[in-house]
Structure 1
Amino acid sequence: MQTREDIFNILRDALVELFELDPASINANANLYQDLEIDSIDAIDLIDHIKRQTGKKISAEDFKSVRTVGDVVDAVFRLVNSAA
C-alpha cells in the first residue's frame, strides 16, 4: 500500500520528467492547468504514466474532476487502495 506522500513524490517526479517542471512549483495545491500549464494532451500523458506506475488506469471521467496535484494524489490513492 502506498501512502499519499509516496504517491505525491512519484507524481512530482513524473511531472518534472514528463513536462520539465520546476520541482519547487509542484505542491498539493498547485492547479494542473493554471499553475503548471498542463493541457489536455499532457493530461492524457500523465494518465498513461500513472497507469504504467500503478498497473491501474484512472478513467478519463474520473480525471475530469481533477484540478490540483492533491486531487491527482487522492484519485491515485483511491485507485491503488481499492479492493483488488
Structure 2
Amino acid sequence: MLQELSDQEILGRLKTVFKDTFDVDAESIKPETHLFQDLDLDSIDAVDLAIKLQTMTGKRIKPEDFKSVRTVNDVVGAVRKLISS
C-alpha cells in the first residue's frame, strides 16, 4: 500500500521517476534538490512529473497543490498529501 510508504521510500520511487523520465542521475536527487535550478526542469517537465505522480499514486493532482512545488522534498510532500487523501 502506498499509504504505508515512508518519506524515504517515496524519495526512492521519485529517484526512479527522475532517472527514467528526465535521465537524471539518481545520486543527485536529494530532498533539498531544486527541480528547476539544480535539475534544469522546465514547465513542460513539471507537467510530465505531475502525470508520473498521478500514475504512481492512482490519484489526480490538483494544479494548485503542485504550483508551490520547487524541491524534491516538496514533491515528497505532494505525494504524501495525495496518498493520505
* Structure 1 and Structure 2 fold alike (TM over 0.5): yes
> Deviations 1:11-68 (Å, cap 9, x if unpaired)?
1110010000011111000000000111000010110011111101221211110110
2:44 is the alignment partner of 1:14: no
> How far apart, CA to CA, are the structure 1 residues paired with 2:11 and 2:60?
17
4+ runs deviating over 3 angstroms: none
Percent identity of paired positions between Structure 1 and Structure 2: 45
TM-score by length of 2: 0.91
Aligned residues: 82
Structure 1 unaligned residues grouped into runs of 5+: none
The Cα shift of 1:76 comes to 0.6
Structure 2 unaligned residues grouped into runs of 5+: none
TM-score by length of 1: 0.92
SS in 1 for 2:52: helix
Question: Are the aligned partners of 1:4 and 1:73 in contact in 2 as well (CA < 8 Å)?
Answer: yes
Question: Are the aligned partners of 1:58 and 1:76 in contact in 2 as well (CA < 8 Å)?
Answer: no
